[in-house]
Structure 1
Amino acid sequence: MAGKIVLVTGGARSGKSTFAERYAAKGSRKVAYIATAQIYDDEMKERVTIHQSRRPASWPTFEAPYKAELAMAQAVQSADVVLFDCLTLYTTNLLLAPDAPTNREERCQAVLDDIDKLLASAKQEHADVIFVSNEVGFGIVPDNALAREYRDVAGFVNQKVARNADEVYLVVSGLAVELKKIAVSLGEGELNG
């Protein structure tokens, strides 16, 4: 029997990763961590260091900037809970990958296909899987085409994971609200906007 899928989303510095870490740590369960960040500058190095310092040393870490479904397949076999941080960095990696399609629509579809593989891998075992993601569409409209594409694809990724999730938390100012409990359902299908 598959475990549950949980999505934790919110803006930058909203407290979403801290909430997800606490959620993963509740109870006496084995936790595995999947990290998607790639360190290209001092700012990202500092962010990674902060995340590492908050995690217990007992949580095995799987590095997965690409092909995260493979890391997920390993993690769900070895843990009761898998914390995947984060979907938006993973989306960035996929969009900017050297082998990414050059056509915008094909690139979007390739990312969504990779997310399908990741979700399928997450559902293979009994482990609960917690995905962390950013709500990048809450801000101003970006001034360049790549940033607008990223915002749109990240939104589609979040919709896909939310549809597959048993629980979805929105974290704002350090406070989490469980959205699926209060969501209005208008039927099946994607909202593409």
Structure 2
Amino acid sequence: MLVTGGVRSGKSTHAETLMAGAAEVVYVAPGPSPDVEGDPDWAARVALHRSRRPASWRTVEGTDVASALGGAGAVMVDCLGTWVTSVIDEESAWERSSDDLHALVQARLDVVLAAAASHPGRIVWVTNEVGMGLVPEHRSGRIFRDLLGTVNQRVAASSEAVHLVVAGRVLEL
């Protein structure tokens, strides 16, 4: 299942409710470390997400989402936007050509989706909807929007359902 929506729309909270009743949940946090120097807002956001998670959930941090899908049980990946950013950051690739960035992200996504296809449990992906806003002024913003839009389409195509969350309300697409 893919859960998408705007920033602060309630998509993570909704995704967490979809995990209710799962005996084992792996929460994959593929974004930057909460200890990113000089970013107290990011640290606060990570702390809020951590405080909502049940103690029984196992958290995996980092961009190797495919490995996190290697076990049994339910998996929640929150979120694909931070995953895309982290993949590019790991490679220090923001200055590469758009084609190179697309190839990098798509190759990594191929591995993730192959692992997802063989995962025996439920997977809930969380992502930001990026196709409804203005065209970003900066190159990195435009590239991110385009990359995440493509990632979202591929994950949606491989998901049994897609939920759009707007202002805390859920629409099944």
TM-score by length of 2: 0.91
| Partner in structure 2 of residue 24 of structure 1 | 19
Q: Secondary structure of the equivalent of 1:136? A: coil
Aligned 8 A contact 1:32 1:78 in 2: no
Q: What does 1:143-162 correspond to in 2, within 5 Å?
A: 143-162=137-156
| Paired-residue identity, % | 40
SS across alignment from 1:115: helix
Q: Any residues of structure 2 matched to 1:42-53 within 5 Å, and which?
A: 42-53=40-51
Unaligned runs of 5+ in 2: none
Q: Return closer, same or farther for 1:72/1:125 CA change in 2, 3 Å cut-off.
A: closer
**Superposition pairs of residues 1-193 of structure 1, within 5 angstroms:** 6-25=1-20, 27-38=21-32, 39=34, 40=36, 41-64=39-62, 66-73=63-70, 77-79=71-73, 81-98=74-91, 100=93, 102-179=96-173
Q: CA deviation at 1:34?
A: 0.6
Q: Separation in 2 of the partners of 1:136 and 1:72? A: 25
Q: Is the 8 A contact 2:7 2:128 kept in 1?
A: yes
Deviation of the 1:132 alpha carbon: 0.2
CA shift, 1:28, in A, is: 4.5
**Cα distance between partner residues in 1 of 2:79 and 2:69:** 13
Q: CA deviation at 1:21?
A: 0.2
- The unaligned stretches of length 5 or more in structure 1 are 1-5, 180-193
Deviation at 1:99, TM superposition (A): 5.4
CA RMSD of aligned residues (A): 1.5
CA distance in 1, matches of 2:115, 2:60: 14
**Aligned amino acid, residue 149 of structure 1:** I
How many residues in Structure 1 have an aligned counterpart in Structure 2? 168
TM-score (norm 1): 0.82
Do 2:79 and 2:125's aligned partners in 1 also have CA atoms closer than 8 Å? yes
| Corresponding letter in the other structure for 2:112 | L
- Alpha-carbon separation, structure 2, partners of 1:107 and 1:13: 27
User: For residues 110 and 56 of structure 1, what CA distance do their matches in structure 2 show?
Assistant: 34
